Structure 1
Amino acid sequence: MSQCCLSGFKWDGKPIGTETKLGKNDTYVTGSNKEVAILIVHDIFGWTFPNARLLADHYAKEADATVYLPDFFGGEIVAPEAMDTGKLDLKAFLGRHSKELRFPEIETCAKSLKQEHGFKKLGAIGFCYGGWAVFQLGAKGKDLVDCISTAHPSALTKEEIDAVGVPVQIIAPEHDPMLTPELKAHANSVIPSLNVAYDYQYFPGLAHGFSVRCDQSDVKQKKGLERAKNVAVGWFAQFLHLH
Protein backbone atom coordinates (compact mmCIF):
# COMPACT_ATOMS: atom_id res chain seq x y z
CA MET A 1 0.00 0.00 0.00
CA SER A 2 1.41 3.36 -0.98
CA GLN A 3 0.97 7.01 -0.08
CA CYS A 4 -1.66 7.39 -2.83
CA CYS A 5 -3.98 5.38 -0.57
CA LEU A 6 -3.57 8.00 2.10
CA SER A 7 -5.08 11.12 0.63
CA GLY A 8 -8.53 12.23 -0.41
CA PHE A 9 -11.34 14.70 -0.05
CA LYS A 10 -14.47 14.26 2.06
CA TRP A 11 -17.74 14.64 0.18
CA ASP A 12 -20.74 16.77 0.98
CA GLY A 13 -23.85 15.01 2.24
CA LYS A 14 -24.91 13.11 5.33
CA PRO A 15 -25.18 9.30 5.52
CA ILE A 16 -28.74 8.11 6.14
CA GLY A 17 -28.12 4.59 7.49
CA THR A 18 -27.74 3.30 11.04
CA GLU A 19 -25.06 1.66 13.16
CA THR A 20 -25.66 -1.86 14.45
CA LYS A 21 -23.84 -5.20 14.76
CA LEU A 22 -23.08 -7.86 12.18
CA GLY A 23 -22.01 -10.77 14.32
CA LYS A 24 -19.34 -9.31 16.60
CA ASN A 25 -18.50 -6.44 14.26
CA ASP A 26 -19.83 -2.91 14.47
CA THR A 27 -21.42 -2.10 11.14
CA TYR A 28 -23.09 0.66 9.18
CA VAL A 29 -26.23 -0.60 7.45
CA THR A 30 -28.48 1.10 4.91
CA GLY A 31 -31.35 -0.11 2.75
CA SER A 32 -34.31 -2.39 3.36
CA ASN A 33 -34.23 -5.23 0.84
CA LYS A 34 -34.72 -8.51 2.74
CA GLU A 35 -33.45 -10.74 -0.07
CA VAL A 36 -30.44 -8.90 -1.52
CA ALA A 37 -27.37 -7.66 0.38
CA ILE A 38 -24.04 -6.07 -0.46
CA LEU A 39 -21.01 -6.33 1.83
CA ILE A 40 -18.46 -3.51 1.60
CA VAL A 41 -14.88 -4.18 2.66
CA HIS A 42 -13.52 -0.73 3.39
CA ASP A 43 -10.22 0.94 2.61
CA ILE A 44 -7.66 2.20 5.13
CA PHE A 45 -10.00 4.94 6.39
CA GLY A 46 -12.37 2.34 7.76
CA TRP A 47 -16.08 1.98 8.34
CA THR A 48 -16.73 5.48 9.70
CA PHE A 49 -15.31 7.32 6.67
CA PRO A 50 -18.22 9.45 5.37
CA ASN A 51 -17.39 8.77 1.71
CA ALA A 52 -17.75 5.02 2.20
CA ARG A 53 -21.07 5.45 3.98
CA LEU A 54 -22.39 7.75 1.28
CA LEU A 55 -21.43 5.19 -1.34
CA ALA A 56 -23.25 2.53 0.68
CA ASP A 57 -26.36 4.71 0.59
CA HIS A 58 -26.09 5.03 -3.19
CA TYR A 59 -25.72 1.27 -3.63
CA ALA A 60 -28.69 0.60 -1.35
CA LYS A 61 -30.98 2.91 -3.28
CA GLU A 62 -29.74 2.38 -6.82
CA ALA A 63 -29.01 -1.37 -6.69
CA ASP A 64 -32.02 -2.07 -4.44
CA ALA A 65 -30.06 -3.85 -1.72
CA THR A 66 -29.37 -3.77 2.00
CA VAL A 67 -25.76 -2.67 2.30
CA TYR A 68 -23.45 -3.54 5.19
CA LEU A 69 -20.21 -1.69 5.90
CA PRO A 70 -18.61 -3.42 8.92
CA ASP A 71 -15.57 -2.38 10.92
CA PHE A 72 -12.73 -4.71 9.97
CA PHE A 73 -10.03 -2.80 11.89
CA GLY A 74 -11.09 -3.77 15.42
CA GLY A 75 -12.21 -0.28 16.37
CA GLU A 76 -9.07 1.45 15.09
CA ILE A 77 -9.92 4.61 13.19
CA VAL A 78 -7.51 6.28 10.79
CA ALA A 79 -8.30 9.96 10.31
CA PRO A 80 -7.37 11.52 6.97
CA GLU A 81 -5.55 14.19 8.97
CA ALA A 82 -3.14 11.52 10.23
CA MET A 83 -2.01 11.01 6.65
CA ASP A 84 -1.35 14.67 6.07
CA THR A 85 0.84 14.91 9.15
CA GLY A 86 2.62 11.59 8.61
CA LYS A 87 1.61 10.35 12.06
CA LEU A 88 0.49 6.90 10.90
CA ASP A 89 3.05 4.09 10.91
CA LEU A 90 1.67 2.34 7.84
CA LYS A 91 3.81 -0.78 8.17
CA ALA A 92 2.74 -1.31 11.78
CA PHE A 93 -0.88 -0.60 10.89
CA LEU A 94 -0.92 -3.21 8.13
CA GLY A 95 0.75 -5.66 10.49
CA ARG A 96 -2.17 -5.26 12.87
CA HIS A 97 -4.61 -5.82 10.03
CA SER A 98 -2.97 -8.51 7.93
CA LYS A 99 -4.90 -10.86 5.67
CA GLU A 100 -4.35 -13.71 8.10
CA LEU A 101 -5.79 -11.73 11.00
CA ARG A 102 -8.69 -10.02 9.25
CA PHE A 103 -10.02 -12.41 6.62
CA PRO A 104 -11.61 -14.83 9.13
CA GLU A 105 -13.92 -12.10 10.43
CA ILE A 106 -14.65 -10.82 6.91
CA GLU A 107 -15.63 -14.36 5.96
CA THR A 108 -17.73 -14.72 9.12
CA CYS A 109 -19.67 -11.56 8.25
CA ALA A 110 -20.40 -12.88 4.76
CA LYS A 111 -21.57 -16.20 6.18
CA SER A 112 -23.79 -14.41 8.69
CA LEU A 113 -25.55 -12.46 5.96
CA LYS A 114 -26.40 -15.65 4.08
CA GLN A 115 -27.04 -18.00 7.00
CA GLU A 116 -28.35 -15.97 9.94
CA HIS A 117 -29.86 -13.02 8.08
CA GLY A 118 -31.23 -15.17 5.30
CA PHE A 119 -30.28 -13.08 2.28
CA LYS A 120 -30.80 -15.02 -0.93
CA LYS A 121 -28.26 -13.01 -2.90
CA LEU A 122 -25.02 -11.43 -1.66
CA GLY A 123 -22.50 -9.28 -3.46
CA ALA A 124 -19.24 -7.86 -2.13
CA ILE A 125 -17.19 -4.83 -3.09
CA GLY A 126 -13.74 -3.95 -1.80
CA PHE A 127 -11.89 -0.67 -2.05
CA CYS A 128 -8.09 -0.49 -1.88
CA TYR A 129 -7.30 -2.57 1.25
CA GLY A 130 -10.59 -4.43 0.81
CA GLY A 131 -9.86 -5.54 -2.74
CA TRP A 132 -7.93 -8.70 -1.93
CA ALA A 133 -10.65 -9.71 0.54
CA VAL A 134 -13.48 -9.82 -1.98
CA PHE A 135 -11.39 -12.03 -4.25
CA GLN A 136 -10.96 -14.43 -1.35
CA LEU A 137 -14.70 -14.30 -0.63
CA GLY A 138 -15.36 -15.13 -4.27
CA ALA A 139 -12.88 -17.99 -4.52
CA LYS A 140 -13.93 -21.27 -6.11
CA GLY A 141 -15.67 -23.57 -3.65
CA LYS A 142 -16.43 -20.86 -1.07
CA ASP A 143 -20.10 -20.48 -2.05
CA LEU A 144 -20.31 -17.25 -0.06
CA VAL A 145 -21.02 -14.47 -2.55
CA ASP A 146 -22.80 -14.31 -5.89
CA CYS A 147 -20.57 -11.65 -7.44
CA ILE A 148 -17.74 -9.31 -6.50
CA SER A 149 -16.46 -5.90 -7.51
CA THR A 150 -13.24 -4.19 -6.56
CA ALA A 151 -11.89 -0.70 -7.12
CA HIS A 152 -8.13 -0.12 -7.21
CA PRO A 153 -7.34 -3.16 -5.01
CA SER A 154 -4.24 -3.28 -2.83
CA ALA A 155 -2.25 -6.39 -1.85
CA LEU A 156 -4.08 -8.47 -4.47
CA THR A 157 -2.04 -11.46 -5.66
CA LYS A 158 -2.01 -13.41 -8.89
CA GLU A 159 -3.02 -16.49 -6.90
CA GLU A 160 -6.13 -14.73 -5.60
CA ILE A 161 -7.03 -13.71 -9.14
CA ASP A 162 -6.48 -17.25 -10.41
CA ALA A 163 -8.81 -18.71 -7.77
CA VAL A 164 -11.87 -16.52 -8.38
CA GLY A 165 -15.04 -18.47 -9.06
CA VAL A 166 -17.85 -15.88 -9.26
CA PRO A 167 -18.62 -12.96 -11.60
CA VAL A 168 -15.96 -10.32 -11.02
CA GLN A 169 -15.69 -6.63 -11.84
CA ILE A 170 -12.46 -4.64 -11.63
CA ILE A 171 -12.55 -0.83 -11.53
CA ALA A 172 -9.06 0.09 -12.68
CA PRO A 173 -7.53 3.58 -12.82
CA GLU A 174 -4.71 4.24 -15.25
CA HIS A 175 -2.28 5.28 -12.53
CA ASP A 176 -2.04 2.73 -9.74
CA PRO A 177 1.16 1.46 -8.10
CA MET A 178 -0.83 -1.30 -6.39
CA LEU A 179 -2.88 -2.60 -9.32
CA THR A 180 0.19 -2.59 -11.55
CA PRO A 181 0.21 -2.95 -15.35
CA GLU A 182 1.50 -6.50 -14.80
CA LEU A 183 -1.36 -7.35 -12.45
CA LYS A 184 -3.91 -5.75 -14.79
CA ALA A 185 -2.54 -7.80 -17.67
CA HIS A 186 -2.65 -10.97 -15.57
CA ALA A 187 -6.29 -10.39 -14.63
CA ASN A 188 -7.27 -9.65 -18.22
CA SER A 189 -5.48 -12.77 -19.43
CA VAL A 190 -6.59 -15.25 -16.78
CA ILE A 191 -10.11 -14.32 -15.71
CA PRO A 192 -11.70 -14.77 -19.16
CA SER A 193 -10.50 -18.40 -19.05
CA LEU A 194 -12.16 -19.12 -15.68
CA ASN A 195 -15.73 -19.48 -16.96
CA VAL A 196 -17.02 -16.55 -14.91
CA ALA A 197 -18.51 -13.27 -16.08
CA TYR A 198 -15.88 -10.54 -16.13
CA ASP A 199 -16.14 -6.76 -16.40
CA TYR A 200 -12.94 -4.72 -16.59
CA GLN A 201 -13.62 -1.01 -16.30
CA TYR A 202 -10.66 1.19 -17.20
CA PHE A 203 -10.44 4.84 -16.11
CA PRO A 204 -7.82 6.77 -18.12
CA GLY A 205 -6.11 9.65 -16.39
CA LEU A 206 -7.32 8.69 -12.92
CA ALA A 207 -5.33 7.39 -9.97
CA HIS A 208 -5.54 4.90 -7.11
CA GLY A 209 -8.28 5.79 -4.64
CA PHE A 210 -10.39 7.86 -7.02
CA SER A 211 -13.64 5.89 -6.65
CA VAL A 212 -14.03 6.56 -2.93
CA ARG A 213 -11.69 9.51 -2.36
CA CYS A 214 -11.61 12.17 -5.03
CA ASP A 215 -11.64 15.94 -5.37
CA GLN A 216 -15.14 16.69 -6.65
CA SER A 217 -14.06 20.17 -7.71
CA ASP A 218 -12.00 18.41 -10.40
CA VAL A 219 -14.42 17.63 -13.25
CA LYS A 220 -12.50 14.60 -14.49
CA GLN A 221 -12.26 13.07 -11.02
CA LYS A 222 -15.93 13.73 -10.31
CA LYS A 223 -17.03 12.13 -13.57
CA GLY A 224 -14.80 9.16 -12.84
CA LEU A 225 -16.27 8.81 -9.36
CA GLU A 226 -19.80 8.87 -10.75
CA ARG A 227 -18.98 6.36 -13.47
CA ALA A 228 -17.33 4.01 -10.95
CA LYS A 229 -20.40 4.17 -8.74
CA ASN A 230 -22.71 3.57 -11.69
CA VAL A 231 -20.84 0.56 -13.06
CA ALA A 232 -20.78 -1.07 -9.62
CA VAL A 233 -24.52 -0.47 -9.26
CA GLY A 234 -25.10 -1.99 -12.68
CA TRP A 235 -22.97 -5.02 -11.82
CA PHE A 236 -24.89 -5.71 -8.64
CA ALA A 237 -28.24 -5.14 -10.34
CA GLN A 238 -27.30 -7.70 -12.98
CA PHE A 239 -26.18 -10.51 -10.68
CA LEU A 240 -28.05 -10.03 -7.41
CA HIS A 241 -31.66 -9.68 -8.44
CA LEU A 242 -33.81 -12.77 -8.74
CA HIS A 243 -36.06 -11.50 -11.52
Structure 2
Amino acid sequence: MSCDNCKTGFKWNGASTGKESTLNKANVYVTGDSKDAAILIVTDIFGWKLPNIRILADHYAKEANATVYVPDIFDGEVVDPDALSDPEKAKSFDLMAFIGRHSKEIRYPEIKAAAVTLKKQYPKVIAMGFCYGAWACFKLAAEPSLVEAISTAHPSLLDKSEIDNVKVPVQILAPENDFAFTEELKKYALETLPKTGVKWEYVYFPGLQHGFAARGNPSDPKQKEGLERAKRCAVSFFNEFLH
Protein backbone atom coordinates (compact mmCIF):
# COMPACT_ATOMS: atom_id res chain seq x y z
CA MET A 1 0.00 0.00 0.00
CA SER A 2 1.38 3.41 -0.97
CA CYS A 3 1.38 5.63 2.09
CA ASP A 4 2.37 9.10 0.93
CA ASN A 5 -1.08 10.69 0.87
CA CYS A 6 -1.94 9.21 4.28
CA LYS A 7 0.94 11.10 5.88
CA THR A 8 0.85 14.42 4.06
CA GLY A 9 -1.35 17.47 4.09
CA PHE A 10 -1.68 20.81 5.84
CA LYS A 11 -2.33 21.75 9.45
CA TRP A 12 -5.04 24.41 9.51
CA ASN A 13 -4.88 27.61 11.51
CA GLY A 14 -7.70 28.49 13.85
CA ALA A 15 -8.80 27.95 17.42
CA SER A 16 -11.28 25.25 18.35
CA THR A 17 -14.10 26.10 20.74
CA GLY A 18 -14.98 22.76 22.35
CA LYS A 19 -13.60 20.99 25.39
CA GLU A 20 -11.74 17.83 26.25
CA SER A 21 -13.57 15.19 28.24
CA THR A 22 -13.88 11.40 28.37
CA LEU A 23 -16.12 8.88 26.63
CA ASN A 24 -15.99 5.29 27.89
CA LYS A 25 -12.76 6.22 29.73
CA ALA A 26 -11.12 7.37 26.48
CA ASN A 27 -10.15 10.98 25.88
CA VAL A 28 -12.57 12.84 23.63
CA TYR A 29 -13.00 16.29 22.13
CA VAL A 30 -16.61 17.48 22.53
CA THR A 31 -18.26 20.49 20.91
CA GLY A 32 -21.87 21.62 20.68
CA ASP A 33 -24.79 21.46 23.11
CA SER A 34 -27.58 19.54 21.39
CA LYS A 35 -29.52 17.08 23.53
CA ASP A 36 -31.17 15.45 20.51
CA ALA A 37 -28.44 14.72 17.98
CA ALA A 38 -24.83 13.53 18.13
CA ILE A 39 -22.10 13.08 15.54
CA LEU A 40 -19.29 10.60 16.20
CA ILE A 41 -16.15 11.45 14.22
CA VAL A 42 -13.81 8.53 13.62
CA THR A 43 -10.51 10.14 12.66
CA ASP A 44 -7.66 9.46 10.31
CA ILE A 45 -4.25 8.45 11.69
CA PHE A 46 -3.57 11.95 13.03
CA GLY A 47 -6.21 11.34 15.63
CA TRP A 48 -8.31 13.38 18.00
CA LYS A 49 -5.83 16.21 18.60
CA LEU A 50 -5.36 17.32 15.00
CA PRO A 51 -6.54 20.97 14.85
CA ASN A 52 -8.23 20.37 11.47
CA ILE A 53 -10.59 17.74 12.87
CA ARG A 54 -11.51 19.89 15.85
CA ILE A 55 -12.22 22.86 13.58
CA LEU A 56 -14.43 20.67 11.39
CA ALA A 57 -16.18 19.32 14.49
CA ASP A 58 -16.99 22.87 15.58
CA HIS A 59 -18.50 23.60 12.16
CA TYR A 60 -20.54 20.41 12.23
CA ALA A 61 -21.85 21.18 15.72
CA LYS A 62 -22.99 24.66 14.76
CA GLU A 63 -24.26 23.99 11.26
CA ALA A 64 -25.95 20.63 11.96
CA ASN A 65 -27.20 21.55 15.44
CA ALA A 66 -25.50 18.55 17.02
CA THR A 67 -23.09 17.62 19.79
CA VAL A 68 -19.95 16.31 18.13
CA TYR A 69 -17.56 13.80 19.68
CA VAL A 70 -14.00 13.14 18.46
CA PRO A 71 -12.66 10.28 20.58
CA ASP A 72 -9.07 9.11 20.87
CA ILE A 73 -9.27 5.79 19.01
CA PHE A 74 -5.55 5.03 19.24
CA ASP A 75 -5.16 4.43 22.97
CA GLY A 76 -3.17 7.59 23.59
CA GLU A 77 -0.81 7.29 20.62
CA VAL A 78 -0.63 10.63 18.81
CA VAL A 79 1.00 11.24 15.45
CA ASP A 80 2.89 14.54 15.37
CA PRO A 81 0.82 16.88 13.15
CA ASP A 82 4.09 18.41 11.94
CA ALA A 83 4.59 15.15 10.03
CA LEU A 84 2.04 16.56 7.59
CA SER A 85 4.47 19.12 6.26
CA ASP A 86 7.89 18.04 7.57
CA PRO A 87 9.38 15.43 5.18
CA GLU A 88 11.80 14.10 7.80
CA LYS A 89 9.08 13.57 10.39
CA ALA A 90 6.84 11.99 7.76
CA LYS A 91 9.67 9.71 6.67
CA SER A 92 10.35 8.56 10.22
CA PHE A 93 6.68 7.69 10.82
CA ASP A 94 6.04 4.03 9.97
CA LEU A 95 2.44 3.96 8.82
CA MET A 96 2.21 0.21 8.34
CA ALA A 97 3.53 -0.45 11.84
CA PHE A 98 0.97 2.04 13.16
CA ILE A 99 -1.86 0.24 11.36
CA GLY A 100 -0.57 -3.04 12.74
CA ARG A 101 -0.85 -1.67 16.27
CA HIS A 102 -4.31 -0.32 15.53
CA SER A 103 -5.90 -3.03 13.41
CA LYS A 104 -9.62 -3.36 12.82
CA GLU A 105 -9.80 -6.23 15.27
CA ILE A 106 -8.16 -4.16 17.99
CA ARG A 107 -9.92 -0.85 17.45
CA TYR A 108 -13.43 -1.62 16.25
CA PRO A 109 -14.78 -2.87 19.59
CA GLU A 110 -13.87 0.47 21.21
CA ILE A 111 -15.32 2.48 18.33
CA LYS A 112 -18.55 0.47 18.46
CA ALA A 113 -18.71 0.94 22.24
CA ALA A 114 -18.50 4.73 21.73
CA ALA A 115 -21.46 4.57 19.34
CA VAL A 116 -23.42 2.41 21.80
CA THR A 117 -22.85 4.92 24.59
CA LEU A 118 -23.87 7.88 22.45
CA LYS A 119 -26.99 6.08 21.28
CA LYS A 120 -28.04 5.69 24.91
CA GLN A 121 -27.67 9.45 25.41
CA TYR A 122 -29.05 10.85 22.15
CA PRO A 123 -32.14 9.94 20.09
CA LYS A 124 -30.15 10.21 16.87
CA VAL A 125 -26.48 9.53 16.11
CA ILE A 126 -24.50 9.78 12.87
CA ALA A 127 -20.93 8.59 12.34
CA MET A 128 -18.43 10.49 10.19
CA GLY A 129 -15.21 8.79 9.14
CA PHE A 130 -12.09 10.18 7.51
CA CYS A 131 -9.53 7.90 5.81
CA TYR A 132 -8.71 5.26 8.47
CA GLY A 133 -11.95 5.99 10.30
CA ALA A 134 -14.20 5.33 7.31
CA TRP A 135 -14.04 1.52 7.45
CA ALA A 136 -15.28 1.67 11.04
CA CYS A 137 -18.26 3.77 9.96
CA PHE A 138 -19.15 1.19 7.34
CA LYS A 139 -19.05 -1.47 10.05
CA LEU A 140 -21.33 0.66 12.23
CA ALA A 141 -23.68 1.01 9.25
CA ALA A 142 -24.25 -2.75 9.35
CA GLU A 143 -25.91 -2.31 12.75
CA PRO A 144 -28.88 0.07 12.35
CA SER A 145 -29.50 0.18 16.08
CA LEU A 146 -26.26 2.17 16.46
CA VAL A 147 -26.43 4.98 13.91
CA GLU A 148 -28.99 6.70 11.70
CA ALA A 149 -26.52 7.13 8.85
CA ILE A 150 -22.81 7.40 8.03
CA SER A 151 -20.72 9.85 6.04
CA THR A 152 -17.19 9.01 4.91
CA ALA A 153 -14.41 10.92 3.17
CA HIS A 154 -11.71 9.17 1.12
CA PRO A 155 -12.08 5.77 2.86
CA SER A 156 -9.04 3.59 3.46
CA LEU A 157 -8.72 -0.06 4.52
CA LEU A 158 -12.27 -0.58 3.24
CA ASP A 159 -13.36 -4.10 2.30
CA LYS A 160 -16.03 -4.87 -0.28
CA SER A 161 -17.94 -6.88 2.32
CA GLU A 162 -18.24 -3.74 4.45
CA ILE A 163 -19.95 -1.99 1.54
CA ASP A 164 -22.23 -5.01 1.03
CA ASN A 165 -23.52 -5.00 4.59
CA VAL A 166 -24.70 -1.41 5.05
CA LYS A 167 -28.23 -1.03 6.40
CA VAL A 168 -28.44 2.74 6.96
CA PRO A 169 -27.96 5.72 4.61
CA VAL A 170 -24.41 6.22 3.33
CA GLN A 171 -22.52 9.23 2.01
CA ILE A 172 -19.12 8.94 0.31
CA LEU A 173 -16.98 12.01 -0.42
CA ALA A 174 -14.59 10.69 -3.07
CA PRO A 175 -11.61 12.52 -4.62
CA GLU A 176 -10.55 11.70 -8.16
CA ASN A 177 -7.07 10.55 -7.10
CA ASP A 178 -7.07 8.06 -4.26
CA PHE A 179 -4.67 5.16 -3.77
CA ALA A 180 -6.86 3.76 -0.97
CA PHE A 181 -10.37 4.22 -2.35
CA THR A 182 -9.28 2.79 -5.69
CA GLU A 183 -11.06 2.93 -9.03
CA GLU A 184 -12.09 -0.69 -8.41
CA LEU A 185 -13.61 0.16 -5.02
CA LYS A 186 -15.32 3.26 -6.40
CA LYS A 187 -16.88 1.18 -9.16
CA TYR A 188 -17.90 -1.51 -6.66
CA ALA A 189 -19.53 1.03 -4.35
CA LEU A 190 -21.45 2.63 -7.20
CA GLU A 191 -22.68 -0.78 -8.36
CA THR A 192 -23.42 -2.17 -4.90
CA LEU A 193 -25.04 0.68 -2.96
CA PRO A 194 -28.13 0.83 -5.22
CA LYS A 195 -28.71 -2.86 -4.49
CA THR A 196 -28.64 -2.43 -0.71
CA GLY A 197 -31.95 -0.57 -0.52
CA VAL A 198 -30.50 2.23 1.61
CA LYS A 199 -30.43 5.89 0.69
CA TRP A 200 -26.98 6.77 -0.53
CA GLU A 201 -24.99 9.70 -1.89
CA TYR A 202 -21.71 9.69 -3.77
CA VAL A 203 -20.02 13.07 -4.20
CA TYR A 204 -17.09 13.26 -6.61
CA PHE A 205 -14.25 15.80 -6.28
CA PRO A 206 -12.31 16.06 -9.56
CA GLY A 207 -8.62 16.85 -9.38
CA LEU A 208 -8.35 16.29 -5.62
CA GLN A 209 -6.32 13.78 -3.64
CA HIS A 210 -6.80 11.32 -0.80
CA GLY A 211 -7.00 13.26 2.47
CA PHE A 212 -8.30 16.51 0.96
CA ALA A 213 -11.40 16.83 3.20
CA ALA A 214 -9.41 16.74 6.44
CA ARG A 215 -5.92 17.84 5.42
CA GLY A 216 -6.34 19.92 2.26
CA ASN A 217 -4.36 23.12 1.75
CA PRO A 218 -6.65 26.13 2.43
CA SER A 219 -4.12 28.38 0.65
CA ASP A 220 -4.67 26.51 -2.62
CA PRO A 221 -7.93 27.72 -4.24
CA LYS A 222 -8.89 24.32 -5.70
CA GLN A 223 -8.19 22.45 -2.46
CA LYS A 224 -9.93 25.13 -0.39
CA GLU A 225 -13.03 24.92 -2.58
CA GLY A 226 -12.96 21.14 -2.29
CA LEU A 227 -12.61 20.93 1.47
CA GLU A 228 -15.31 23.59 1.93
CA ARG A 229 -17.62 21.75 -0.47
CA ALA A 230 -16.97 18.50 1.42
CA LYS A 231 -17.93 20.23 4.67
CA ARG A 232 -21.14 21.60 3.15
CA CYS A 233 -22.07 18.21 1.71
CA ALA A 234 -21.50 16.49 5.05
CA VAL A 235 -23.51 19.10 6.96
CA SER A 236 -26.41 18.79 4.51
CA PHE A 237 -26.35 15.02 4.95
CA PHE A 238 -26.24 15.32 8.75
CA ASN A 239 -29.21 17.66 8.76
CA GLU A 240 -31.23 15.32 6.56
CA PHE A 241 -30.85 12.35 8.88
CA LEU A 242 -30.52 14.01 12.29
CA HIS A 243 -33.40 16.46 12.07
Interval of TM-score (by shorter of Structure 1 and Structure 2): over 0.9
Question: Is the contact between residue 8 and residue 83 of structure 2 (CA under 8 Å) also seen in structure 1?
Answer: no
Q: CA deviation at 1:3?
A: 1.3
The one of 213, 218, 221 equivalent to 1:219 is: 221
- Output the CA distance in 2 between the equivalents of 1:183 and 1:199: 15
- RMSD, matched Cα: 0.9
TM-score by length of 2: 0.96
Alignment length (residue pairs): 238
Which residue number in structure 1 is paired with residue 13 of structure 2?
Answer: 12
Which residue number in structure 2 is paired with residue 88 of structure 1?
Answer: 93
Question: Is the contact between residue 132 and residue 156 of structure 1 (CA under 8 Å) also seen in structure 2?
Answer: yes
Which runs of structure 2 are paired with 1:1-243 in the superposition (5 Å)? Answer: 2-82=3-83, 84-85=87-88, 86-115=91-120, 118-139=121-142, 141-241=143-243
Question: Is the contact between residue 6 and residue 80 of structure 1 (CA under 8 Å) also seen in structure 2?
Answer: no
Identity %: 58
- Output the CA distance in 2 between the equivalents of 1:12 and 1:80: 12
Secondary structure at the counterpart of residue 211 of structure 1: helix
- Output the CA distance in 2 between the equivalents of 1:80 and 1:22: 23
Structure 2: runs of 5 or more not aligned: none
- Output the CA distance in 2 between the equivalents of 1:226 and 1:91: 30
Partner deviation per Cα, 1:83-130 (whole Å, 9 max, x = no partner)? 621111222111110000000000000000112xx2000000000000
Structure 1: runs of 5 or more not aligned: none
Question: Is the contact between residue 16 and residue 54 of structure 2 (CA under 8 Å) also seen in structure 1?
Answer: yes
- AA aligned to 1:50 is P
Q: CA deviation at 1:82?
A: 3.8
Give every structure 1 segment of 4 or more consecutive aligned residues whose post-TM-superposition deviation is greater than 4 Å.
Answer: none
Secondary structure at the counterpart of residue 215 of structure 2: coil
TM-score by length of 1: 0.96
Partner deviation per Cα, 1:117-164 (whole Å, 9 max, x = no partner)? x2000000000000100000111x451000000000100010000001
